[in-house]
Structure 1
């Protein structure tokens, strides 16, 4: 790994997780114009942490559902609930605000409302359920799926940056710049590379392709929803897009 790619990798890990990694050059916020190329690698490392929790739980004799719950819990712990927080804020804002201004104001509020609580509950239930179904078939497939979907969803979750202008003049959405085309091509190749572990573990090729399509479609749907609701991009939109992409990818892999 060359030095520039390594710096981008560390920058993404530092921003997207709470793992102890060397400080990136410059700022906490990655420069998405170049750092996006390393995002699938960072996502794969994050997913590997959850996969380790899943494998350990099954090795201790825990049933698939409990092992899946612990794995998703590990995923939330490693990331500091970064994307879950965005999903909850977006649900509260879009569900509780009558105007664009009200929606944006509610999304800034750190308190959790009814819509946010429901969105979080559904997100956790769907991910644990899908992962449990995978683990019942093959724990190795389930572990590989965690690595794959963590890389895939974080990359697909950047789709709003490509399609929307910032809804505010500050915040994470404003700071995230449009990625360079070359960086996106590199990221796409790395995402495809992370599909190899589930395929090697026996997952069908059609399931992996459906997961990619589902993640992209879910992120696109969240992007269009944000455009209609607030007319642009915020950091919460990015978090919600990642969550939608991850759920769609896991459901696709779990479908028989």
Structure 2
């Protein structure tokens, strides 16, 4: 069920980091490697948090350091999750029926829904992250968010069938409930840091956001695609950041 190579495969799939990946072995494992998605998020999160810390150490204001952290995340992941959010926003709300929505989502051009979604995503994440960077609390926040948001992707993969007969999501397959459970347990580790401020609330927010994303995708296109998974990651990231901001500020 769990193989060491799955971690490298997850990093290779969810980032642009130059890791050695055996294509045939990765294809054979497919969604069975989904348990390692939170660990791929951990790798990305460590690098993002390190950039924020370095910026603060150099005297950069917290707001600017938070912006640099977001830019680092985009560079490391190749903006694949942001791309999924934009395509999903354009397709799900720009098309009148299932086939047209899928057609729009596959189009490389971006529309007003996609632009609006990206602007709001970056604005919300920046405003929510900046206070943590300024207060020096960004490490546990960034690591938690990076891991649980990618667990949301595994949850949608397990809940929904594929909406297309081709594409990245179809090639990866669907994880088993056991694989999804392992991913959830791994992602819960950094969240223990917030035990005193509402770890149950964080878990509920992740579950609810993932479920809402899955229900919208089910209603609009009858399943999930790679774009839907990317959009789920973005939605969970925003939801958890806002939840932590409220919990720690109260």
User: What is the TM-score of this pair, normalised by structure 1?
Assistant: 0.90
Partner residue of 1:154? 150
Instruction: Choose between structure 1 and 2: higher helix proportion.
Output: 2
Deviation of the 1:182 alpha carbon: 2.9
* CA displacement 1:199-227 (0-9 Å, x = unmatched): 2xxx4533443223212211211111111
Map 1:1-256 to 2 at 5 A: 5-24=3-22, 26=24, 31-136=29-134, 138-139=135-136, 141-196=137-192, 199=193, 203=194, 205-255=196-246, 256=249
Counterparts of 2:54 and 2:95, CA distance in 1: 43
Check conservation: 2:158, 2:176, Cα contact below 8 A. no
3-state SS of 1:166 partner:
coil
Show structure 1 runs of 5+ residues with no match. none
Tell me the TM-score normalised to structure 2 length. Answer: 0.92
CA RMSD of superposed structures (Å) = 1.7
| CA distance in structure 2 between the aligned counterparts of 1:129 and 1:24, rounded to whole angstroms | 39
Measured at CA, do residues 218 and 29 of structure 1 come closer, stay the same or move farther in structure 2, by a change above 3 Å? farther
Deviation at 1:101, TM superposition (A): 1.2
What is the SS of the residue equivalent to 2:65?
Answer: helix
Q: Deviations over 1:65-100 (max 9, x none)?
A: 111110011011100001100000010112211111
- Once the 2 structures are TM-superposed, how far is the Cα of residue 48 of structure 1 from its aligned partner? 0.7
Moved more, 176-185 or 186-195: 176-185
Q: Which runs of 5+ in 2 are unaligned?
A: none
Per-residue Cα deviation, 1:130-189 (whole angstroms, up to 9, x for no partner): 1012223x32x2122111111110011222212211111111232232212332232222
Preserved CA contact (<8 Å) 2:85 2:114: yes
> What number of residue pairs does the alignment pair up?
246
Paired residue secondary structure (2:24): coil
Q: Mark the CA change 1:218 to 1:34 in structure 2 (over 3 Å): closer, same or farther.
A: same
**Alpha-carbon contact 2:154-2:183 (below 8 Å) kept:** no
Q: Deviations over 1:106-146 (max 9, x none)?
A: 1010011111000001111111111012223x32x212211
CA distance in structure 1 between the partners assigned to 2:28 and 2:148 by the alignment? 18
